[in-house]
Structure 1
Amino acid sequence: MKKHLITTEWNEDDFNRMFLPGIAIDAVIFGFHDQRLMVLLLQYKNTNAFALPGGFIMKHENGNDAAQRILKDRTGLSNIYLEQFYTFADISRHDTSFFKKIMKARGMKPTKNHFLLNRFISIGYYALVDFTKAVPTTDLLADECKWHDLKELPPLIQDHQQIIQKALSTLRQDLDIKLVGFNLLPETFTIGDLQNLYETILDTKFLRTSFQRKILNLGILKMVDKKMTGAAHKAPYLYKFSTK
């Protein structure tokens, strides 16, 4: 068992010795699949509850390093693109009933001062991953870790719905400014693939010619080859993202 993972046997002293008190990380992990924007969620079957993947910052860790560790544990991927986008600190988000249900479902007897029942300020990160490469992996308290269509999310605990909406709003702002959308695509893609991604994230439609002209004028794409589908003269070109 890795020492940085929280086990159900750990007590308040263990947590305070290893982690920063009162600070948590919640991660909105986006993927793109079948022209749908997907979000990775944990499910707690015995409580019928859904939540964002999250964790805590170890005392020897930088915040971004902790986020990368948490994301690797949930997706199996390293060097994930992530952005810290907001800090959630409202008193109203402190709801102990959810964690009490989970702990009881796991056969634990939560004490009044158990660290999971404390109030936490949560640092929000959004992450962009290649859906085809991610391997969703549950944590020690959840029963399942699965992708969900952003437009068909189940009811979420605490303020996690608000966290997702804030992450989506930030992602939309970053699309053109930071060109982050390419992190959701495979290494090579067509202009049509990229347009579908933009339309899905922004929930709007673009004229094909206008979108193609806009993207190609940015000078950020490198042509790779024609996509081998159908007649050669009709096959769309494949591109890759290039900052050179």
Structure 2
Amino acid sequence: MFRNKLVKALAAATFAVVGVRVAGTVNSNNTNVQASAFHYFRKDHKMVTLGLGDSLPVRNYDHGKLVQKDDPEDENSYCSRYVPLRSRGWKYINGVKYYNVPSQKYLDTTGAYMAAKYFTKDYNVKPYFTIYRANKKISALADDMQNTDDGMWYGKGDTFLVVNYSILNHSKYVDTISNIQDGKHNADGWYSPDGGGIGGELKPSQFKKRCTKAGKNVKFIINKGTDWCTNGSLARGGIYHNGHFYKLYSRDHFGI
């Protein structure tokens, strides 16, 4: 069987909004904050869209007191997935530049901040995935230690995401991600549009012969069709969420 792949960076299994976060404990000696003046992006103080975030930590304050650290190892501090992140501006906190992101306040906190470094090309999904199409039937091996041949395959016309580094690094197999649940050209009618959680390993020689890069407007559907990406959107570093393009930033590029 194909392994179940959680692609947090782009095709998360649910692409769902994360709900209420639980505040982490903050030691009292860490609550003193050295903050600079606030700088607005625009003269009219209107919000500016930063993009979508995944696995990005948030600092939360209650009337100036730090109640949740932005700990990258603490999932409870992560921003809500795939909810547009917007900000009016930034300030420096303990010498680090942070954007104010009001939508990420939880419970009764009064301020939420996210490190500006996460909204740079180093955390953007642009280099990680490309959509390909199978032009002929191609076997897809299981993503286990033995790369077992379970009889799974992609059929002519099937589209799937390819993890680019499996090609660039000349890996033994080309790593793929699909929303066809069993990899059998949707033969049993079991389709998983919630996200690209399934995928197999393709032999590079067969991949070169039988697969080509999809057109820039070919959609890879996620979240029951409300979200999708194309090679055109990936080249711009993002996805379409509810019909609107957003750049996508993540700390977890599929474990790469």
Q: Give the TM-score taking structure 1 as reference length.
A: 0.26
Structure number having the greater strand percentage: 2
Name the structure where helix makes up a greater proportion of residues: 1
